[in-house]
Chains A and B, each alone.
Chain A
Amino acid sequence: MNTNATTMNKDKPRKNWLVMFIHKMGSPPWFYGFSGKLIPWLWAIFAALTIWGLYLGLVKAPADYQQGESFRIMYLHVPSAWMSMLIYTSMAIMGFIALVWRIRIMEILAMSSAPVGAAFTIIALASGSLWGRPTWGTYWVWDARLTSELVLLFLYLGVIGLYNAIDEPRKAARAACLLALVGAVNLPIIHYSVKWWNTLHQGSSISVTGGSNIDPSMLWPLLIMAFAVKFYYGANLLTRARVKLLEQDKRKGWVKKIIKERES
């Protein structure tokens, strides 16, 4: 009985802190201030990790015995491809939360994710194509992995287009969130395409459960780059969300106060 009471007392402040944080995140002025403090740190970590990862990947790692120097495109291609899927997943989850609980910050975050996801998808497609030319002998083939990744780009563009096509921002966000949710069906298709179909694109070289068949000197730069781009997404997402908040709340007092403070 005493043990339970102690546990409850220990959990209470932690739960309160979490609930308070979630409530605060829903407040536009608090979100604007908090994200403004966080963004420079995210950019700094992204820059440091990218410099470190690219140095190890482009300078230190040896050339591949089969692919030669062209394997170095992997340090851009693989993190971008992973990000294209991760950002879509987070956009769909935030879209779901926005649709069910009608949280405006979630709508804004989901819609701010789409251009960043589209950028990573473009990089994944372009860098993959430039890797394919010396390795496969062609820039493009209509195999399942490449085609489903191209469909992902069209889904991102569809979400951005739909959001911009409707004047009322909340109505627009709800319609675009619904499209993002429906489009999430493409994610398992991209992931399992190399298993379900006979593709020119190679299978996974790294798995969370099964380890990796890449040499550590080549693997570490890849993992560092994959970690670095998460910070790019965080910084870019928050920057975009802050601008959208200013735009939507331009008639509200807290925005006018911030602009006045900038002027003085």
Chain B
Amino acid sequence: MSHTPFIWAAYSIGTVVLLWCALAPLIHKKAVIRDIRKLSQIEERNRDSHS
């Protein structure tokens, strides 16, 4: 039995899982920053309408 496919499969799974684990917080960060910008815009609009 050739062992090569098992080695490739193990390292492929490892790479995908570690890449996803590293990229997930960066994707989430973009969404959080978008939320914060929206929140700031709403607050500025409210401040302008009150003044």
Which A residues fall within an 8 A CB radius of B?
A: 68-70, 72-73, 76-77, 80, 115-116, 119, 122-123, 126-127, 130-131, 133-134, 232, 235-236, 239-240, 242-243, 246-247, 250-251, 255-256, 259, 262
Contact = CB atoms under 8 A, between A and B. Distances in A.
Interface residues of B, number: 27
Contacts of B11: 73, 76
Interface of B: 1, 3-4, 6-7, 9-11, 13-14, 17-18, 20-22, 24-26, 28-29, 32-33, 35-37, 39-40
Contacts of A69: 3-4, 7
16 contacts: A69-B4, A70-B3, A77-B10, A115-B21, A115-B24, A116-B21, A123-B14, A123-B18, A127-B10, A130-B7, A235-B22, A236-B21, A239-B29, A250-B32, A255-B36, A259-B40
Given A127-B14, A250-B39, A259-B40, A236 B9 contact: no
Given A73-B10, A130-B9, A131-B10, A251 B28 contact: no
Given A239-B22, A256-B40, A259-B33, 5 more contacts: A77-B10, A123-B14, A123-B18, A243-B28, A259-B37
A250 B25 contact: no
A73 B36 contact: no
Contacts of B7: 69-70, 72-73, 130
A133 B17 contact: no
Nearest to B22: A236
A206 B37 CA distance: 52
B32 A246 contact: yes
Contacts of A72: 7
B32 A247 contact: yes
Given A255-B36, A256-B40, A127 B13 contact: yes
A68 B24 contact: no
Contact of A134 (B1, B25, B39): B1
